[in-house]
């Protein structure tokens, strides 16, 4: 189905961490399946698949952030929390008058792209620098000093 705003995976969305990138691609697949679903039963089923996968993915990222003492963990987790809250609202509205497919699509596209390209990219670059022994960016170093 051709939609006005397609959530299509592009290599440019790779954040450079194989596990996170692979899960992000799957999030895109599941978001598309959800947005393509027609009728309350299918919308409910695919929304559950999408929400579950997204929550598991957030847990993975959050576990990773804790294990490496990631300085921007709080802001990142707050972003995840807000998305989960918004998804819960969406789920509650499926089949109701307040459910707008178009709004959902715009919101999801915007959220996924902004979150991945800004927040997840920062996280992946922090991990890569830590693994290769390179110094962190000046911003990261400043926030590490603040936390000490």
- In the numeric block, the tokens 């592009």 are attached to 10
> Closer to Fe ion at the Cβ: 44 or 143?
143
Shortest spacing between CB 128 and Fe ion, in angstroms: 16
> Closer to Fe ion at the Cβ: 37 or 122?
122
> Closer to Fe ion at the Cβ: 105 or 120?
120
> Closer to Fe ion at the Cβ: 64 or 91?
64
Shortest spacing between CB 86 and Fe ion, in angstroms: 14
76 burial via Cβ count (<10 Å: 0-12, 13-18, 19+)? buried
Q: Which of 49, 56, 51 is closest to 23 using CA atoms?
A: 56
Q: Restricting to residues 53-72, name those near Fe ion by CB under 5 A.
A: 61
Q: Is 21 in the site for Fe ion (CB under 5 A)?
A: no
How close are the terminal C-alpha atoms of the chain, in Å?
A: 52
Residues 75 and 88: their CA atoms lie apart, in Å, by 20
Contact 31, 50 (CB under 8 A): yes
The pattern of x and - marking residues 103 through 132 that bind Fe ion according to CB under 5 A reads: -----------------x------------
Where along the sequence are the contacts to Fe ion (CB under 5 A)? Answer: 61, 120
């Amino acid at each position: 189905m051709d939609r006005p705003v397609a959530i299509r995976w592009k290599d440019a969305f790779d954040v450079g961490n194989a596990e996170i990138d692979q899960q992000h691609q799957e999030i895109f697949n599941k978001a598309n399946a959800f947005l393509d679903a027609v009728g309350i039963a299918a919308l409910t089923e695919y929304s559950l698949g999408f929400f579950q996968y997204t929550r598991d993915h957030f847990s993975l990222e959050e576990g990773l952030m804790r294990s490496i003492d990631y300085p921007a963990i709080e802001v990142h987790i707050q972003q995840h929390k807000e998305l989960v809250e918004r998804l819960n609202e969406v789920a509650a509205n499926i089949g109701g008058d307040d459910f707008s497919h178009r709004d959902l699509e715009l919101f999801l596209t915007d959220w996924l792209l902004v979150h991945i390209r800004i927040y997840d990219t920062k996280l992946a670059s922090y991990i890569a620098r830590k693994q290769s022994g390179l110094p962190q960016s000046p911003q990261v170093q400043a926030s590490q000093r603040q936390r000490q």
